[in-house]
Amino acid sequence: MNMQEYIEEAESALLHTYNRYQIVLDRGEGVYLYDMEGRKYLDFVAGIAVFALGYGNKAYNDALKAQIDKVIHTSNYYYNVPAIEAAKKIKKVSGMDRVFFTNSGAEAVEGALKAARKYAYLKDGSTDHEIIALNHSFHGRTMGALAVTGNPKYREAFEPLIGNIRFADMNDIDSVKAQLTDKTCAIIMETVQGEGGLVPATERFLKEVRALCDEKDILLILDEIQCGMGRTGYMYAWQKYGVKPDIMTTAKALGCGVPVGAFLMTEKVGQNSLVAGDHGTTYGGNPLACAAVEKVLDLFEKDHIIDNVREVAPYLEEKLNLIQDKYDCILERRGTGLMQGLLFDRPVGPVINNALKKGLILINAGANIVRFVPPLVITKEHVDEMIAILDACIEETL
C-alpha cells in the first residue's frame, strides 16, 4: 500500500479523535523523521516533548533489546531490578523520596490526586475535600485528570467528573486564595503550562503557593509531565526556583517513547497516604518500561543533555525573538528552555501545514500558538535550519 492508501485505511479503522497531518511516519534518525515515501523532516515536536534523546540512539535501543530478551513483564507483586534501579535514579535527580510508576501522564495525575485525597482523609476522616487547579491547565484526558484540566471545552461533554475542583488563575495568588476553603487538600499546577500556551509560573507565584500550602498543610502537586526531564534547563522545572512540591508527576520524556510515567512524593506524604490495596496497575513500572527509564536517566547524565539545553535554548530564544520582530502578526514569544511558543494574532494551522510540506514538523498549542518542543539533543545548526523554514512559511502563508 502507498502512503495515501494507508491514510485512507487509518481513517476507516481508527477512531477519529485526532485531525491528523497527512503523512505516515516510518523511521527516525537523530532529530529527523522520515515518512514512508522517504521524505525527511526536521522534528521540532519530538512526539510532543517525548523523544528527548533523538531517534535511533544506540545505547537506548540496545538497553531495550537486552531487556526484551530477558523479560518484558512480570507483575508489581514481585520485585524487578530495572524498576529498583529506575526508582533509585529518579529519586536522585528529583530529590523526591518515593515513586509509583504508571503507564502514562494522565495516570500519574490520577495517582497524585488519589494520594492527596488520602492524605487529607487520614488527617480528618472526611470525604468532601476540595482541590484547586488552574485555568488553561492541561493534566490529561482521563476522568480525574480531566476534572483538573482548566479548559471547559475539554470537560463539558463528560460531566460529571470528579467533584470539588475549583479553578484559579496562573500567577495570581489572590485568585488562588479566593478559592481556598477549609476543605482544600491540594493545589495542582504545571510548573510551566504546556498545552495551555507555554506559560511559566513566576518564581514569586510558586513561592507564594508553596507558602500558602505550608501554612494550611495543603499538598502542592506540580505536574512536570511536559516541562520536566531537562526541557527547561533543569531536570525538573521547579528546581530552578527551589520550590519543592509534595507530589510531582512526570512522564513524556521519562521513557523517551516507551509508555511510562510516574508520580513521586516526599517521605511525609509517602508515610501518610496510599498503602497496600489503595492503588495499583498491571503494567506500570514493568521491566521493559523501567529499563527505558533507567537508560534515559543514565544517558541524560552521560551525554550532558541538560548542558546542551542550556547552551541551545538561549540561541533558540534569540532567533525566535528575531522572527517575532520581523512579523506584525506575531504578538509574543513565550516559554522557557526548549519549550517555546510563538503567539500569533490568528490561527497557526496554515503555517504548520506549510512547514510540513517544507520538511519541518511543528505543532500548535491552542489555535494561535506554534509550539517548539524539539528533542533535547538539537544543535544551533538545527535551530538555524528550523528558523529558515519557519521564516519562509510565515512569509508565504500569512
Q: Which residues bind ligand PLP (CB under 6 A)?
A: 104-106, 109, 138-140, 190, 194-195, 223, 225-226, 251-252
221/387 with CB nearer ligand PLP: 221
Longest dimension (CA), the chain: 63
* Sequential DSSP letters for 299-368: HHHHTTHHHHHHHHHHHHHHHHHHHHHH-TTEEEEEEETTEEEEEESS--HHHHHHHHHTTEE-EESSTT
- Do 273 and 247 form a contact (C-beta atoms < 8 A)? no
133/330 with CB nearer ligand PLP: 133
335: left (phi over 0), alpha (psi -120 to 50) or beta: left
32/234 with CB nearer ligand PLP: 234
The least CB distance from residue 252 to ligand PLP, in Å, is: 6
Is the bond preceding 160 in cis, omega lying within 30 degrees of 0? yes
The residue number whose beta carbon is nearest to ligand PLP equals: 105
257/330 with CB nearer ligand PLP: 257
The least CB distance from residue 137 to ligand PLP, in Å, is: 8
* Exposure class string for 124-134: b at 16+ Cβ within 10 A, else e: eeeeebbbbbb
The least CB distance from residue 240 to ligand PLP, in Å, is: 17
By residue count, the chain amounts to 398
32/263 with CB nearer ligand PLP: 263
The least CB distance from residue 17 to ligand PLP, in Å, is: 12
- Say which residue the cell 476553603 belongs to: 181
Q: Of all helices (H) and strands (E), which one includes residue 193?
A: strand 192-193
- Do 296 and 261 form a contact (C-beta atoms < 8 A)? no
- Nine-digit cell string for 393: 512559511
The least CB distance from residue 140 to ligand PLP, in Å, is: 4
The least CB distance from residue 193 to ligand PLP, in Å, is: 8
The least CB distance from residue 199 to ligand PLP, in Å, is: 12
82/261 with CB nearer ligand PLP: 261
The least CB distance from residue 169 to ligand PLP, in Å, is: 17
230/387 with CB nearer ligand PLP: 230
The least CB distance from residue 238 to ligand PLP, in Å, is: 13
Residue 16, SS3? Answer: coil
The least CB distance from residue 327 to ligand PLP, in Å, is: 27
Q: How many C-beta atoms surround the C-beta of residue 350 within 10 A?
A: 14
96/393 with CB nearer ligand PLP: 96
The least CB distance from residue 111 to ligand PLP, in Å, is: 12
194/335 with CB nearer ligand PLP: 194
32/138 with CB nearer ligand PLP: 138
337: left (phi over 0), alpha (psi -120 to 50) or beta: left
Q: Any idea of the CA torsion for 91, 95, 100, 103, to the nearest 10 degrees?
A: -80
- Nine-digit cell string for 285: 513500572
Q: What does the alpha-carbon distance between residue 134 and residue 117 come to, in Å, rounded to a whole number?
A: 18
The single-letter DSSP state of residue 283 is S
Residue 79, SS3? Answer: coil
Q: How many C-beta atoms surround the C-beta of residue 375 within 10 A?
A: 28
- Do 207 and 241 form a contact (C-beta atoms < 8 A)? yes
Please name the residue ranges forming H helices in the chain: 3-13, 46-49, 58-70, 81-94, 105-124, 143-147, 152-155, 173-179, 203-216, 267-271, 287-302, 305-326, 349-357, 380-397
265/330 with CB nearer ligand PLP: 265
